[in-house]
Amino acid sequence: MPGDSQLRTYRNERDYPFCPGCGHSLVLNHLNTALVKLGVDPHRIALVTDIGCQGLADQYFVANAFHGLHGRSLAYATGIKLVDPDLKVFVLIGDGGTGIGGAHLLNAARRNVGMTVLVMNNFNFGMTGGEHSVTTPPGGVTVTTRKGNLERPLDICATVAVNGAGYVWRGTAFDRELPDVIVEASNSESFALLDIWELCTAYYVPNNDFSRKSLLEMRERLGMPVGLLHREDRPEYARAVREANALLLGKPALPANPLPALFTSPLKEEFRFVVAGSAGGKVRSAARVLGEAAILSGLFAAQQDDYPVTVQTGHSISELIFSPNLIHFTGVTRPDALVLATEEGRKASARYLKALTAESWLFTTPEFANMDTPARKVVVDLDAMGIKGGRKNLAWLLSVYALNQLGIISAEACEEAARRGQRAEVAEEMIAGLRRVVGGEKAACA
């Protein structure tokens, strides 16, 4: 049969496994009729089945089949469609799968992923023995609602319609027009959902004295309308994504950003430099520029950051290591220099402060001028230097000042790193600040 683009039937030789009178058989026959009417090459059809009695269905068709896990069929259909937007995708899902996969239902509709979803809705879990589902009507008797269901049934159609589905229909497995509805739904090239009410002759029917006639009565009782309920023309998601992405095609993907050793550094051994400031104080981006400046100076650099989950509040600490040799261990227990920019930084720096010795350096602001430490303390007074608005770049300004004083990384290297790594306006601001602190008054050394 390879090469056939159209079949007289899309059913294979295997017999359905369903109980006598089960609505699933009717729906699948309608689906077959619809596929014949559509006349699509079976190689270009994906039949995605959920789990449950209806989930067995793909095995009776000549088409690509995807049978995964319970409730996830809509997510698989989305994945398939995103890769191959021209495939005809059909999803066969039960009322059970619709419930457990509720998040996927909302999102597939909302995105308008092109697929035709047949909800084979028999108001209970057939496969597992007749438990209630999200569509069990009020009063419905199931093995888990023995005195009658107290939960309000989910209006699947209204839900997907209000959330952007392209085609929404409700009816029963007995409806003669179902094949044509399936054809129309599929041709809508949108997220199309058909809520198909059925009989589960093993459980829901005997437990509720239910019949074909009850289906008709029920829609009056629940006030759920039938027929074509909603049509909406929106861009189909898989194609829309491809179109939006097309502009980027061919651009170089994640190219390396090599940093040539344009400058030099006199550093002979590893130097650990910790910058402690506040979240939102651009500590991490300042540290990154310094690391890049170190590499531009022929050094190795490493940077490790610590910050709370809420990134705009609390501390932000960057540990930097500069070394003439390869750095194996990126952790810092004892800083050689600590840059203390703010109170939040100080609060989170207890272990660094404790580790400081008379050999260490502490660079900080007048706010912490009286702080007790064995380290050599350098108080940098930006106001006295005539630098206005330095607070928002405090971590950067203190750090470049410190590195310049320590003679580890030159101001030129820092400028070059800022120019290469930051947006033009940001780089400009960083460089302007740097020139002021580096050229400014000598700081007080306590």
Partner 1 sequence: MREFIDGATAIARGALDAGATFFAGYPISPATPILLHMIRELPKVGGLAIQGEDEIASISMCVAAAMTGARAFTATSGPGMSLYSETIGLSIMGEVPLVIVDVQRLGPATGGATTPGQGDVQFARWGNSGGYPIIALAPGNVYECYSLTRVAFDLAEKHRCPVFLLTDKELFQALTTADVDRFEAPPVRERVVAEALPAGTHGLRAEETTIPYRAPAPDAAPAYAPIGGPHIVRFTGSTHDEHGFLTKDPVKVGKLNERLRRKIEDHAAELEMATSTTAPGAQTAFVSYGVTTGAMEEAYRIACAEGRAVSTLAVQSLWPVPENAILQFVKPGDGEAVVCRIVVAELNHGDFRREVERVVYRWCAQARVVPPEIVGINRVDGELITPAQFLEQIVGG
Ligand X SMILES: Cc1ncc(C[n+]2csc(CCOP(=O)(O)OP(=O)(O)O)c2C)c(N)n1
Partner in contact with 18, chosen from ligand SF4, ligand X, Mg ion, none, beta carbon below 5 to 8 Å by kind? ligand SF4
CA distances from 122 to 20, 98, 210, 223 (A): 14, 12, 11, 18
Shortest separation between residue 67's beta carbon and Mg ion, angstroms: 16
Q: What's the rounded Cα separation, in Å, for the pair 185 and 169?
A: 9
Nearer CB in complex with ligand X: 196/267: 196
- Using CB positions, name the residue nearest to Mg ion: 94
Select from 197, 195, 203 the least CA-distant residue to 215: 197
**8 Å CB contact between 382 and 389:** no
CB-wise, 130 or 166, nearer to ligand SF4?
A: 130
Chain positions 75 to 104 lying near Mg ion, rule: CB under 5 A, are 94-95
Chain residues binding ligand X by CB under 6 A are 50-54, 70, 94-97, 120, 122, 125-128, 133
Give the one entry of Mg ion, partner 1, ligand SF4, none that residue 75 binds, where binding means its C-beta sits below a cut-off of 5 to 8 angstroms depending on kind.
partner 1
Q: Residue 409 and residue 397: Cα distance in Å, rounded?
A: 14
Q: Please, which residue, 56 or 375, has the CB nearer to ligand X?
A: 56
User: Which is nearest to 120 in space by CA: 69, 63, 77, 182?
Assistant: 182
Q: How far apart are CA 434 and CA 313, in angstroms?
A: 25
Nearest residue (CB) to partner 1, 16 versus 66: 66
Tracing tokens 């269905």 back to the chain, one arrives at 57
> Cβ of residue 303: shortest distance to partner 1, in angstroms?
4
Task: Report in angstroms how near the CB of residue 263 gets to ligand X at its nearest.
Answer: 59
Q: Find all residues with CB under 8 Å of 274, minimum gap 6, and list them.
A: 317, 318, 319, 320, 332, 335, 337, 338, 339, 349, 352
**Which of partner 1, Mg ion, ligand X, none lies near 127, with the C-beta cut-off 5 to 8 A by kind?**
ligand X
Residue 152, C-beta contacts closer than 8 angstroms, at least 6 positions apart: 138
- At which residue do the structure tokens 């079976």 appear? 42
Closest distance between ligand X and the C-beta of residue 151, in Å? 15
Positions that interact with ligand SF4 (CB under 6 A): 18-19, 22, 24, 53, 122, 126-127, 200-203
Provide the minimum distance between the beta carbon of 97 and ligand X in the complex, in angstroms, as a whole number. 4
Query: In angstroms, what is the minimal distance from the CB of 178 to ligand X?
Result: 17
Q: What element of type H or E holds 117?
A: strand 115-121
CB of 129 to Mg ion, least distance (A): 11
Name which of partner 1, ligand SF4, ligand X, none residue 22 binds, using a CB cut-off of 5 to 8 Å depending on partner kind: ligand SF4
Q: Which of 98, 122, 373, 399 binds Mg ion (CB under 5 A)?
A: 122
Q: Virtual CA dihedral for 44, 45, 46, 49, nearest 10 degrees?
A: -170
- Residue 95's binding partner, choosing from partner 1, Mg ion, ligand SF4, none, with beta-carbon cut-off 5 to 8 A by kind? Mg ion
Pairing of β 337-340 and β 361-364? parallel
In this complex, which beta carbon is closest to ligand X, that of residue 57 or of residue 182? 57
Least distance in angstroms from the C-beta of 101 to partner 1: 9
Q: Is 181 or 196 the residue whose CB approaches ligand X more closely?
A: 196
166 contacts 109 by C-beta, under 8 angstroms = no
Calpha distance 23→343 (Å, rounded): 70
Nearer to partner 1 by C-beta: 187 or 330? 330
In degrees and rounded to multiples of 5, residue 229 shows phi and psi of -100, -20
How far is it, in rounded angstroms, from Cα 415 to Cα 387?
Answer: 18
Question: Is 248 or 445 the residue whose CB approaches partner 1 more closely?
Answer: 248
Binding at 68: pick from Mg ion, ligand X, partner 1, none (beta carbon under 5-8 Å per type): partner 1
Binding site for Mg ion (CB under 5 A): 94-95, 122, 126
